Structure 1
Amino acid sequence: MSSDYSYDEEGTLWPFFVFTLSGLVTLPLSYALFKRTRDPAASFPRIKSDYRPNHSDLIEAQRKKNGRQESKAWMVILVVLGWATMAYTMYLIYVTPATVRQLWNPYDILGISESASEKDIKSIYKKLSRKFHPDKIKPDASKNETLEMLNERYVEISKAYQALTDEEIRNNFIQYGHPDGKQSYSIAIALPKAMISDGNGKYVVLLYTLLFGVLLPYLVGSWWYGNLKRSKEGALMESANRLFRQYDENLDESGVITALSVGKEFEEMFKGDKADAGLSKVESKLQAADDVLSSKEKEKLEELESGPRRKALALLWAYLGRIELDDPALTKAKVEVAPVAHSLTKSMTAISLAYGNTTPILGSYYASQHLIQAIPPKGSPLLQLPHFTPAIVKAVEGDSRKHLTVQEFMDQPETKRRSLVVGKNLLTEEQYDAAVVVAKQLPYLRVAKAFFKVPGEKCIIPGSLVSLVVKGRFIPPGSEKVPDINELDLEDVDAAEDDLDVILGRKKPKQIGKDENGKPIFAPVEEAEVFPPLTHAPYFARDYSPRWHVFLTDSKQGKMAVPPFTFTQFDRPIYEADGVTPTYNMQTLEAKFAAPPQVGQYTFVMHVVCDSYLGFDTKMEVTLVVEEASKAAEMAGEDEISEPEEDSIAGIMNAAKGGAPPKKRRVAEEDDSEDESGTEEEDDDTSETNTDTEAED
C-alpha cells in the first residue's frame, strides 16, 4: 500500500488546519491570561470604610495600573487575534460544503439492489456492456466526455460484475473494499492553494522559518531567562544579590528600609534624568519634617551618591512620613516606590531566615508593616486609623515615650477617647466615628494558649515530630461583650484511629440537636476556606491579604529555633455574614517540627507576627519538655491493652485476618476515651507552656 501526498485543490480543508493550530495557541494563552487578570482579592472580604486619603485617585490608579501590567498587553492582543481567527475559520468550516469520500460499491455501479439474484446481475451486466462497450459508444461532446472516460466507465462495470461473481475478486472486495485489493490513499495538505502555487513556496518556507526558527526560540528563551533573572520571592536576582551584601545581624526595620533602596527595580524606574529630577525638593521636605528621619538615617541618606538609590530612599521616607511633595510627578513616584520596596522585603526575609538571626527577621516583618501602613519606624500604631495624624497622636499620648497600640486606645472608655481626639484643630465627630468603625474591624489575633504535643502520645521524646498548637481568637480592638473562652475550645483532642473524616481530610459535621424521632441533627459542613479581610491600607497602592507568621527563637543566643510557619487562612469564620460583627471563634494554628535530639527542658520565645498591622504581634515564652524514650514506653505499658472494638476499622481488619472476635465497646471505655491526649493539663502528656497573654476581658 502506498501513500499519495497531494495538495487540497478545493481549498476546503485548510480552515480545519488553521482552526486547530490557533486553538493550540489560543486556549493555553486564554487560560494563563484569565489567571493573571482574575483579581484574587475580588472574593476576599474587605474592611468597610469610606475613608479616602489625599491623592486617593492616584493611589487607585496605580492599583489598576499594576493589574494591567500583570495581564501583559501582548497576551491580550494574541488572545484576541487567536479567538478572531478561530471564529473566522469556524465560520468557513460551517458554510463550506463537506466533501465526502464515496466508497466503491459494485451494486451502485451496476445500478441494482443488493438483493438482486445472480441471474439479474448477469442480465444487467450484458445490457451495460453492450451499451458502454468502447467499440459501440462514442464520446458526447455536449457532456464533455472523452474516450478515456468511457473506457474507465466500462472497466468499472466489468470490475463490479466480477466482484459479484468471481470468488477471488469478491474476497478482495469483502476484505479491502475494492476488487483490486489494498488501495493507496491520498493525504490532502490543508493549506490554501495560493500558498503552494508556483512562486509562493519561498514565502511558506519564510513563514515556517519565522515561526519555528525565530519566534518559538525567542518565546522559550524569554520565558527561561525571565525565570532565571528573578528569585522565587519575585525580586530580580541582581536585587537579591545586592540585598545579600546589605545584610547585617543587627539590621532593624529602619536598616531594612535603607537596604531596600539598592533594588535594581528602582534603577529601571529612575533612568537617566529621572534620578536627579526633584531629588533636592524631596530631601528638603524630609529635612523639614519631624519624627520621620533620625539623625543616623539622615546621615545615611546624605552619604549616598546622587542616583536612583538616593532618590528611591528619599521617596520611601517621604511615603512613610506621608509628606506632601507639592509636585504631581514626585507624588506619583512616591506612591509607586512603596509596593516595589514591599516586594523586596520578601527577599530580605528569605536572606535573614538563612542566617537565622532574630533581629533581621523581625526587622523584615516590621518593615513590611510600616510600608503597608505608610508609618515611619518608631511611628505610632494609632496612625493606622483613618484621619489620625501625628498631631492627633500627640493629643492622645501626651508626653509619653511609649506609643499606644490601637487596642490600648480602644480599651479606654468611650467618653475618654472622644474627649482626647475630638475638638478644635483635632477630629470632628464624623471623623472620630469613621476611625472607630475601622478599628472595630481590624483582625487582631489574641493568643489564648500555646502548647506542644505529639499526636497520639503522652510525652515528647527526642527526634519526634512535635506540633506547636496555638489557640487564639480574632478580637478587634474596642470589641464589647466579648464572650468568655469555652475551656473545651482550648483542648486539642486527638482524633480516633477509626475516624474516616479525619483520615480522608474531611470536615466532621457537628451535631446541633435531635429530631422528633431522636435522630441526630447535624449542622451543614462549611467547606469554604476562611480568609481574613484585605488589609486596611489606604496609602498602599496594592490590595494585600494579611499573613500571620509563627516561629520560635532562642532569646539567649538571639537565633531562630524553628522557622516561621505562615498562615493566610483559617478554619473557622472570623466575622458574621455582615462582615463586621466578630464571631469570636477559637482558631487553631498548628506548626510541626522535629523535637531536639537531646532530653531536657527547652524555653523558647514564640512570635506570632502579622505582616500588615503594627502592634498586633504576640511575644510569649513557651517551654518544651523532651523526655527519655524509656519513659514513653513505660507510660504506654501502663495503658490497658484491649482488643479493638467491632465497630472500628481496626476491629474489622482484625476479624478479617482471622483474629479473635472484637469486643463490644463498654460504657466505661467510652468515658475513658474522652480523656484528652496531648495537653499539659492532664497526665503530664505535653510540655509545660507559659501562656501568659493579655486578658481578653
Structure 2
Amino acid sequence: MSTDYTYDEQGQFFPYFILTISALITVPLTFSLLKPTKELESTAPKIKSDFKPPDENLIQGQKRKQWRRERRLKRFITVIAGYAIIALMSYLIAVTKTTAPKIWDPYDILQIPRSADDKKINKRYRDLSRVYHPDKARPDESKNQTVDDINDHWVELSKAYKALTDEEVRNNYIQFGHPDGKQSYSIGIALPKFIVTEGNGKYVLLVYGLLLGVLLPYVVGRWWYGTQKMTKEKVLLASAGNLFREYNEDITDGGVVNALTCGEEYKEVLTGNKAENGLGKVEKKVSESPTFGRRASGLDPADQQALEKSDGARRKALALLWAYLGRVALDGSTLDNEKYEVAPLALALNESWTAISLAYGNVAQILSAYHISQNLIQAIPPHASPLLQLPYITPAIASSIEGPSSRDHLTVQDLMSLPEYKRRKLATDQPDVLEIGQYNTAVAVARQLPLLQLEKVFFKVTGEKVVTQSSLVQMVLKARVIPPGTANVPPVNELDLEDVDPDEGDVDALVGRNPARSKKAKILDGNEDKQANPEERPLQPPLAYAPYFPRDHSPRWHVFLADSKLGKMAVPPFTFTTFNKPLFDDAGNPSFNMQTFKMQFQAPPQVGKYPFTMHLICDSYVGMDSKMDVVLEVEDSAKAMEMVEEDEISEPEEDSIAGQMSALKSGGLSGGSQQPRRKKKVQAVESSDDESDTEGDAGSDTSDTNTDTDTDGE
C-alpha cells in the first residue's frame, strides 16, 4: 500500500485550516483578556476626592504605561486581528463552492437502482456495452473526448458490473470499498498546491524553520528565563543579591532609601544617556538649602554623602527618588516623568528588602522597611509630617499647623481629634495656610482613611480553655475601623469581643461561611437559629489615598510579635488585606463593625508567662501604626487534662441535651420511673406557680408509692 498526498487544488479547504488556527489562539486570549483580574487593586473602591496634584498628567501617563507593560494593549490588538481573520475566513467559506470527494459506487456508475436484481444488472450492462464498448464508441470532439477516455470509462463500467456479479470482485468491494481491493492511503493537506509547486517548496521549508526553529524556542526560552530570574517578590535575582549586601543592623531610614537604588531594574529605565542627562539639575534641586529644618527633599547630611558617593544609573535613580519623596518640581517633563517612574520600582525592591529584614529578625530594621513603604506610597520623606498625606498640605502649611515650637509631628488623627473651631483656626487663620475649600477637601479625605483601632487582643487554643506547651495558638485581634475625626462613636458591644469555637455540627462556621456565636448572643438575638449577616464576607478597604504614587495600591496590614528586651521578632508577620464586615454603610458613614483577625503560631515548649510587644502596621499610611504589650501564658498540659476531666465528671444541666440523655439512661437502667431533679436556685429562678406544680407532682408520686407498699403488705 502506498501513500499519496493530495493538496487543496481549488483552495476550498484552506480557509477551514486558517479559521481553526485563528480560533485556537483568539478564543483563549479573549478569555484571558475579559477575565476579571485577581489583583486587589482592580476590585477595591476608591476614596472620594477632587484633588489633583500638579503633575496629574504625568502620573496618569505612568499608570497607562504600566497597563501597556502588562501586555493588555498587545493582547487587545491581537484579539482584534484574530477576529478579523476569523471573519475573513468565514466569508471565504460561505462564498467558495466546495466539492466533496466522490465515493466509488457501482450502482451509480451503471445508473441502476440498488434494488435491481441480477437480470436487470445483466440487461443494463448489455445496453451500455452497445454504446460505450471501445469497439463501438467514437470520441466526441465537442467534449474533447479521446480514445483513452473511452477506454477508461469502459473499464469503470466493467469493474462496476463485476463488483455486482463476480464473487471475488464483489468480496473486494464489500471489504475494501473498491473492486481492486485495498487502495493506497491518501493524506489531504489543506494548503493550495501552488505553495509547494513551481519552486515554492524551499520557501515553505524556510517558513517552517523560522516558526519551529527560531520563533517558538525564543518565546518559550524568554518565558522560562523570565520566570527563573525573578524572586517571589517580582524582583530580579541580581537585585535581591545587591540588597542583601547592602543590609546592616545600623542602617537608617535614609540608608534604606539609598539601598533601594542598587536594583538592576533602574538600568532598564535609565538606559544610555538617560543616566547622565539632567543629573546635575536634579541634584541641585534636591540639595537646596533647608527651609523647614531639612532640605526640601528630606535629605540629611548622611544621605547627601551617600548621593555624592554613588555613580552611574544608581546616582540618577537615587536623586530622582529623593525628588519624588520631597515632591520636588524638576521643571522638565522628562525628568519629572522619570521621577514618577522610579517610585514603583523602589516599592517593589522594598518588598524584597522587607523579606531580608524579616530573615534577620531585627525589629528596628523591620519597622524601618515598613515605614519606607509608607513613605514611598505617600511621597513623603522619612521623618516628615504625616499631615502631608492630606490634599493641599505642604511642608510650610504642616509646619504652620504644628507650630514652630512643636518638636513632634502631628498625626492625621491628632489633627482630626481637635475641636472643629480650633482645627479650622490652625488650618485657615494663619499665613501660608489653606483656603476654606481646600480645608474642607482635606478634612473630607481624612474622614475616609481606614484607621484601624484595636479593641482587644488575646490568645487561645481552639477547643481548649488554656494554652499548653507547643500547642497551636491563635492570636485573636478585635478591632474597628474608625476614620480620624469620626464623632459619636458607639461603645463596644462586649458580645462582639467574644471568639466562640464552632460546634462540631456547625458546618457553616467550620468552613468560615458563618461565624460561631455564643449562647448568650443567641439568647439576646431572640432566636438561637438566627443566621449570620449575609454581608459578612471578605470585603476590601478603599484603595490607598496616594495621589502622587503612579500606581493603584490596596492597603495591607501587617501584625507581628516582638521580644522588646532582645529587639528581635518573635512571631513572623501575618498580613491581611480584607475585612469580614463592611467598613462603611450605603451613605458612606462608618459602620463601626467589629472586625476579627487571627494569626496562628506554635506556643513555646516551656510553661511560663511570655511578654510580647504586638505591632500592627499599615503599609500605606504614615502615623497610623499601633503597638500593644501582650502576655502569652502557657500552662502545663497536665493541668489542662485535669480541667477537662472535671468538666466531664460534673453533672450536666437538666435542660441540656446531655442532661436529658443522662435522665433517660438512668431511668431505663433502674426499671422504674425517674424522679425529676430540681434545678439549683443559683442556676435558674422559677416562678411561684412552677414551684407549686413541682411540689404537687412530687407529692402524688409519694402517695402512689405508699399505696403500693400497703397493697404488698396485704
Which residue is 1:317 aligned to?
322
Report matched runs for 1:27-42 at 5 Å.
Answer: 27-31=27-31, 41-42=41-42
CA 289–90 in structure 1, closer or farther in 2 if over 3 Å, else same: farther
Q: Could you tell which deviates more after superposition, 265-274 or 530-539? A: 265-274
Which residue is 1:610 aligned to?
618
State whether residues 37 and 71 of structure 1, in contact with CA within 8 Å, keep that contact through their aligned partners in structure 2: no
Which residue is 1:246 aligned to?
246
CA 380–284 in structure 1, closer or farther in 2 if over 3 Å, else same: same
C-alpha displacement of 1:88: 2.6
Deviations for 1:247-299, whole angstroms, at most 9, x for unmatched residues? 11233432211211222223333344433433333333343443445544344
Larger radius of gyration: 2
Deviations for 1:185-213, whole angstroms, at most 9, x for unmatched residues? 31121223232013111111111111111
SS at match of 2:595: strand
Correspondence 1:494 to 2:501: yes
Correspondence 1:290 to 2:299: no
Scaled by the length of structure 2, the TM-score of the pair is: 0.82
Correspondence 1:377 to 2:379: no
Which residue is 2:393 aligned to?
388
* Distance (whole Å) between structure 1 residues aligned to residue 236 and residue 528 of structure 2: 61
* Distance (whole Å) between structure 2 residues aligned to residue 530 and residue 115 of structure 1: 76
CA 493–198 in structure 1, closer or farther in 2 if over 3 Å, else same: same
Which residue is 2:69 aligned to?
69
C-alpha displacement of 1:369: 0.2
State whether residues 473 and 584 of structure 1, in contact with CA within 8 Å, keep that contact through their aligned partners in structure 2: yes
Correspondence 1:619 to 2:627: yes
Which residue is 1:594 aligned to?
602
Report matched runs for 1:269-348 at 5 Å.
Answer: 269-285=269-285, 286-293=288-295, 295-301=300-306, 303-348=308-353
* Distance (whole Å) between structure 2 residues aligned to residue 88 and residue 3 of structure 1: 33
* Distance (whole Å) between structure 2 residues aligned to residue 37 and residue 571 of structure 1: 21
C-alpha displacement of 1:508: 7.3
SS at match of 1:561: strand
Deviations for 1:200-240, whole angstroms, at most 9, x for unmatched residues? 11111111111111111221222222223332212222222
Which residue is 1:688 aligned to?
none
2:485 to 459, 462, 478: 478
State whether residues 294 and 300 of structure 2, in contact with CA within 8 Å, keep that contact through their aligned partners in structure 1: no
Correspondence 1:443 to 2:443: no
Correspondence 1:134 to 2:134: yes
* Distance (whole Å) between structure 2 residues aligned to residue 103 and residue 524 of structure 1: 70
Which residue is 2:551 aligned to?
542
Which residue is 1:400 aligned to?
406
CA 363–242 in structure 1, closer or farther in 2 if over 3 Å, else same: same
* Distance (whole Å) between structure 2 residues aligned to residue 193 and residue 340 of structure 1: 54
CA 16–508 in structure 1, closer or farther in 2 if over 3 Å, else same: farther
State whether residues 236 and 264 of structure 2, in contact with CA within 8 Å, keep that contact through their aligned partners in structure 1: yes
State whether residues 550 and 608 of structure 1, in contact with CA within 8 Å, keep that contact through their aligned partners in structure 2: yes
CA 124–598 in structure 1, closer or farther in 2 if over 3 Å, else same: farther
State whether residues 544 and 554 of structure 2, in contact with CA within 8 Å, keep that contact through their aligned partners in structure 1: yes
State whether residues 471 and 603 of structure 2, in contact with CA within 8 Å, keep that contact through their aligned partners in structure 1: yes
State whether residues 301 and 314 of structure 1, in contact with CA within 8 Å, keep that contact through their aligned partners in structure 2: no
Correspondence 1:43 to 2:43: yes
Which residue is 1:226 aligned to?
226
* Distance (whole Å) between structure 1 residues aligned to residue 492 and residue 276 of structure 2: 58
* Distance (whole Å) between structure 1 residues aligned to residue 528 and residue 133 of structure 2: 92
* Distance (whole Å) between structure 1 residues aligned to residue 473 and residue 122 of structure 2: 93
CA 165–501 in structure 1, closer or farther in 2 if over 3 Å, else same: farther
State whether residues 537 and 581 of structure 2, in contact with CA within 8 Å, keep that contact through their aligned partners in structure 1: no
* Distance (whole Å) between structure 2 residues aligned to residue 125 and residue 86 of structure 1: 51
* Distance (whole Å) between structure 2 residues aligned to residue 569 and residue 593 of structure 1: 21
Correspondence 1:431 to 2:438: yes
CA 116–522 in structure 1, closer or farther in 2 if over 3 Å, else same: farther
State whether residues 266 and 317 of structure 2, in contact with CA within 8 Å, keep that contact through their aligned partners in structure 1: yes
Q: Could you tell which deviates more after superposition, 318-327 or 379-388? A: 318-327
SS at match of 1:191: strand
CA 554–424 in structure 1, closer or farther in 2 if over 3 Å, else same: closer
Which residue is 2:564 aligned to?
555
- 1:442 maps to amino acid: L
User: May I ask how many residue pairs the two structures share in their alignment?
Assistant: 641
Identity of counterpart residues, as a percentage? Answer: 54
- 1:429 maps to amino acid: I
* Distance (whole Å) between structure 2 residues aligned to residue 83 and residue 509 of structure 1: 52
Q: Could you tell which deviates more after superposition, 184-193 or 408-417? A: 184-193
SS at match of 1:415: helix
Which residue is 1:659 aligned to?
none
Which residue is 2:472 aligned to?
465
C-alpha displacement of 1:45: 0.5
CA 116–80 in structure 1, closer or farther in 2 if over 3 Å, else same: same
* Distance (whole Å) between structure 1 residues aligned to residue 441 and residue 348 of structure 2: 30
C-alpha displacement of 1:523: 7.7
C-alpha displacement of 1:50: 0.4
Which residue is 1:649 aligned to?
none
State whether residues 252 and 359 of structure 1, in contact with CA within 8 Å, keep that contact through their aligned partners in structure 2: no
Correspondence 1:531 to 2:537: no
Correspondence 1:356 to 2:376: no
* Distance (whole Å) between structure 2 residues aligned to residue 406 and residue 495 of structure 1: 39
Q: Could you tell which deviates more after superposition, 167-176 or 246-255? A: 167-176
SS at match of 2:629: strand
For structure 1, which runs of at least 5 residues remain unmatched after alignment? 646-666, 669-697
Deviations for 1:112-142, whole angstroms, at most 9, x for unmatched residues? 3334444434433433344333333233232
SS at match of 1:15: helix
Correspondence 1:581 to 2:589: yes
State whether residues 509 and 525 of structure 1, in contact with CA within 8 Å, keep that contact through their aligned partners in structure 2: no
* Distance (whole Å) between structure 1 residues aligned to residue 598 and residue 560 of structure 2: 11
* Distance (whole Å) between structure 2 residues aligned to residue 450 and residue 94 of structure 1: 71
- 1:466 maps to amino acid: V
C-alpha displacement of 1:79: 4.6
Which residue is 1:13 aligned to?
13
* Distance (whole Å) between structure 2 residues aligned to residue 146 and residue 643 of structure 1: 109
CA 181–194 in structure 1, closer or farther in 2 if over 3 Å, else same: closer
State whether residues 252 and 362 of structure 1, in contact with CA within 8 Å, keep that contact through their aligned partners in structure 2: no
Deviations for 1:72-116, whole angstroms, at most 9, x for unmatched residues? 766555555444333333332332223323333333333333344
Deviations for 1:129-161, whole angstroms, at most 9, x for unmatched residues? 443333332332322333444344334444444
SS at match of 2:407: coil
SS at match of 1:602: strand
C-alpha displacement of 1:174: 4.4
C-alpha displacement of 1:438: 0.4
* Distance (whole Å) between structure 1 residues aligned to residue 493 and residue 175 of structure 2: 82
State whether residues 387 and 427 of structure 1, in contact with CA within 8 Å, keep that contact through their aligned partners in structure 2: yes
CA 592–15 in structure 1, closer or farther in 2 if over 3 Å, else same: same
C-alpha displacement of 1:48: 0.3
SS at match of 2:330: coil
Which residue is 2:3 aligned to?
3
* Distance (whole Å) between structure 2 residues aligned to residue 246 and residue 375 of structure 1: 23
* Distance (whole Å) between structure 2 residues aligned to residue 118 and residue 270 of structure 1: 91
SS at match of 1:587: strand
C-alpha displacement of 1:353: 1.4
CA 55–292 in structure 1, closer or farther in 2 if over 3 Å, else same: farther
Scaled by the length of structure 1, the TM-score of the pair is: 0.84
CA 23–485 in structure 1, closer or farther in 2 if over 3 Å, else same: same
Correspondence 1:214 to 2:219: no
- 1:542 maps to amino acid: R
- 1:494 maps to amino acid: D
What's the C-alpha RMSD, in Å, of the aligned pairs?
3.2
* Distance (whole Å) between structure 1 residues aligned to residue 357 and residue 39 of structure 2: 31
SS at match of 1:535: coil
C-alpha displacement of 1:630: 2.5
CA 281–96 in structure 1, closer or farther in 2 if over 3 Å, else same: same
* Distance (whole Å) between structure 2 residues aligned to residue 519 and residue 549 of structure 1: 36
State whether residues 509 and 522 of structure 1, in contact with CA within 8 Å, keep that contact through their aligned partners in structure 2: no
